[in-house]
Amino acid sequence: MGKLSGRIAIVTGAASGIGRGCAELFAREGATVVVADVQQKAGRELAETIGGSFEYVDVTDPASVEAMIGRAAERHGRIDILMNNAGIDGAQANTADSSLENWDRVLAINLNGVYYGMKYVLPYMVDQKGGVILNTASTVGLNAMGALPAYSASKAGVIHLTKAVAIENALHRIRVNAICPSVVLSPLLEHFIANTPDPEGARQGFEMLNPLPGMVTIEAVAKSALFLVSDDSEFITAVALPIDGGYTAR
């Protein structure tokens, strides 16, 4: 028996990166995973591979999020876990030089998308008298970073929204937590490193970013996510868990 045996889990942004790693691990632990993403080809392929189902969703559109959750609930009969993971980093620029378009897009995906997911899944979880919500934030939401004003604000917002919703729904036995990874070794980061003027120097810099040497892996994030959505964390709610090798302790 897996740690999530018999449970229905929705993961947004599941077609790649952290979302994909979490969807795969949740499935290995027995969950039926709803792969929710705008990337239809990759999303459908993953759903088939892990024995789940695919649902198209644009997390910036509340109607799309509401419809996706409704279809998942109708198909599976309940929703035990929602992982609001879809997100982007946006363009890097100091606040005065950043664009309004970037601000609006990053907040729409990273913060509004999390709000919509929770807003529309909570009625189902209240009716079934329990559930778990996990939101993907960032160490940047805990320790501010320059040149990423929209990303910093969005992830700080996710953390406080997580805590507010956890408090509101504790009596319904709904747990709500957030994960806060540092820089994660992913295909996106590998592409970024390869395109810097000094790839080896960039890699070494990222490997020494945290007090614990090396970079956070997708596997490490997925294992932490599994802990927070499983019964291993049955009395943990309103927590923003750093996965950062000590970065936020400095």
The arrangement of strands across the sheet holding 240-243 comes to: 53-56, 32-37, 8-12, 81-84, 131-136, 174-181, 240-243
Given 151, 182, 186, 224, the catalytic residue: 151
Long-range contacts of 185-192 (CB under 8 A, 24+ apart): 185/215, 185/216, 185/217, 185/218, 186/17, 186/18, 186/218, 187/16, 187/17, 188/17, 189/215
41 is catalytic: no
Given 154, 155, 186, 230, the catalytic residue: 155
Given 138, 152, 154, 230, the catalytic residue: 138
155 is catalytic: yes
Q: Which residues form the catalytic set? A: 138, 151, 155
